[in-house]
Structure 1
């Protein structure tokens, strides 16, 4: 397989993995619809607990598995886990009115989805870097943008398939894409990379390391309040149609992707450190707007969630950039730790919000609470990036041990 073909496969894998990653959250209105799965808000939230646990475990174990078995094998294992997730989701659709059978299948599906993300996405970052050793930053930037493109496409596909009356068309599409990708990727050769010089810390981690993890945790909460609950907020609080709600989620993920490209392009005029300080406070303001949206303001809701995506866009990549730039001897540990903390924040927002909503807390209040989380993140940004020079790129060079780097959301 030529170098160009290798790059094409990795880039396509980024798009497919992005679609798969958002397939289940994009179906939130179907999962909670009394005419379909009829999940309560609490059940919908708890459904993501296995995903979080599996993703954290895979992200932390990924570097070691790559050293023993190779990044190519880890990448294929991640795709296989994602494929199992989609098959389980389709199996649940066949018995969705038998909740005692469908719900365990959904829990298993999210568990495999988390494992697939934790294995495949870091491996993709490593492969992109290995295929372009002379231009790593650009290769990883393109890959992460394509991951974001996939996350933005998933809600669009949901809207199309729901409009056609075949909501299960998205998991079928994801399954077919993964099968094709596995077939092609099996022939993808692995470029050998340098072994890690910092596989083990050899001592206690510095206090600064935990500041980066705390910031990533808060960011995970803020991103997931949008990524997992935007559609339900649009349909229940704003009174929007399922199609419009899907458009709002698409706007969020699309702006996450475009924002990363934008802030990478304007670093000459707006230093990355200033971006890191400003975006959390801007996000807090957007959350206040979302919380105050009255019923019938569908267009304003779509625009607000798009603005939230822009505010989220650069924060996670910059967290890893600053961390790897400061703690140079712990590059792999920083990347894996930040991703694990991000996933923990994802879990708090994904299944922690469910009981609040089921207890009668309006979703609009959830966004008001998220505004305070964003403010706390903004204040913490001054400690995280205190007197740090702005990194040259929003997407840092991957650690040589093929450590987990980042996801797009």
Structure 2
């Protein structure tokens, strides 16, 4: 910094300009990734409607299988790809894959009433999965390097913006539905992805020294790391019950309107975002480990509230509470693991995003078989979700017990 000042004001301006561009790229790409990620759940009313794609609940759940498989593949292999190319190239590939997903979703509208629609949707969710699996670990690594001394806040900021995108998706779908053009949502996401892809091609990002030490071989993960991975799996189950099944639950089981279901989903994702902002401020006064242990208890309580909600107001409030409860759980899992295992670098975030996607998969396409086998309905599934959250609370306590030194 001192040498930059001595070099002249122009150099300072250029330096700050590049720093601003890095922040815009990392945080902006997170926002658009969130918008793309929730495009499919936000459009569930169209996908399940007899006048739309006319999918069954089983088809709807299975539609996310390619997304989960390729997200896990992308997240687990992103450190290896980064070693062969660079982490920035992995980010670029991820953005292209997300863009392909949005274009396929738009194109599927042309064949929505034919048998060809479902294969196109499967390809779209697969592309989205690979894009998510490669983009999000890279963004978390780059976000940590924007402010290395304050990783918790940087990662929470990134995930708050990602959450903003997920909150906007159902609101925009409701608006575009009123205009008779729901497909404008993936068009908007595609436009944003093109913009940040161009920026990613022109702006150099810092992946940190951990990436330079990465070899082409898979790093051995410490035993304690698997507690973090378990937490990510359990959290993925909890979040997906709220995020993917809210519209199906509220319209099908509680007989509420599609507008109310969209509002409840938007409330969930908006409160996920708001909660991340609040926690980012709170962690300056309260230890992140304390928040990490409390949140799963709140998730369990939120599952109970959702399961018992009947009216529109109660449903929206219950999903809003669930959003606050879920808000910082995944970002804190990523940042706490990054602090404890700094030499894992991109491997840490990649493996944890893969673990999160395993939980996503369990909830995304496991709900319909669970309902069919037990007859408990989605209200009962949310009670199961409360039990999962209690187990998550126990795992969080195990992770935070003691103060282990960063692994070497």
TM-score over 0.5 for the pair? yes
Q: What root-mean-square deviation, in Å, do the aligned CA atoms of Structure 1 and Structure 2 show?
A: 2.6
Matched, 1:276 2:292: yes
Residues 1:190 and 1:317: Cα distance change in structure 2 (over 3 Å): closer
Of 104-113 and 83-92, the range deviating more from structure 2:
83-92
Contact 1:279 1:312 in 2 (8 A): yes
- Determine the structure 1 residue equivalent to 2:49: 33
TM-score by length of 1: 0.87
Contact 2:102 2:190 in 1 (8 A): yes
Asked which structure has the greater RCO (Cα within 8 Å, sep 6+), the reply is 1
- 1:80-131 alpha-carbon deviations (Å, 9 max, x no partner): 1111111111221111111x21111111000000111112222233344455
Residues of 2 paired with 1:31 and 1:318: CA distance? 34
- Determine the structure 2 residue equivalent to 1:349: 363
Matched, 1:97 2:139: no
Residues of 2 paired with 1:5 and 1:206: CA distance? 35
Residues of 2 paired with 1:380 and 1:22: CA distance? 28
Give the CA deviation at 1:365.
Answer: 1.3
In structure 1, which of residues 330, 337, 342 is the aligned counterpart of residue 351 of structure 2?
A: 337
Residues of 2 paired with 1:267 and 1:178: CA distance? 31
- 1:308-357 alpha-carbon deviations (Å, 9 max, x no partner): 11111121222233333334554544332222111100000001112234
Give the CA deviation at 1:305.
Answer: 0.5
- Determine the structure 2 residue equivalent to 1:17: 33
- Determine the structure 1 residue equivalent to 2:188: 173
Residues 1:61 and 1:290: Cα distance change in structure 2 (over 3 Å): same
TM-score by length of 2: 0.87
Residues of 2 paired with 1:283 and 1:42: CA distance? 26
- Determine the structure 1 residue equivalent to 2:83: 67
- Determine the structure 2 residue equivalent to 1:313: 327
Residues of 2 paired with 1:318 and 1:138: CA distance? 10
Give the CA deviation at 1:8.
Answer: 2.2
Residues 1:136 and 1:362: Cα distance change in structure 2 (over 3 Å): closer
Unpaired runs of 5+ in structure 2? 1-13
Q: Name whichever structure is richer in helix by fraction.
A: 2
In structure 1, which of residues 119, 135, 145 is the aligned counterpart of residue 160 of structure 2?
A: 145
In structure 1, which of residues 211, 221, 226 is the aligned counterpart of residue 227 of structure 2?
A: 211
Give the CA deviation at 1:133.
Answer: 5.6
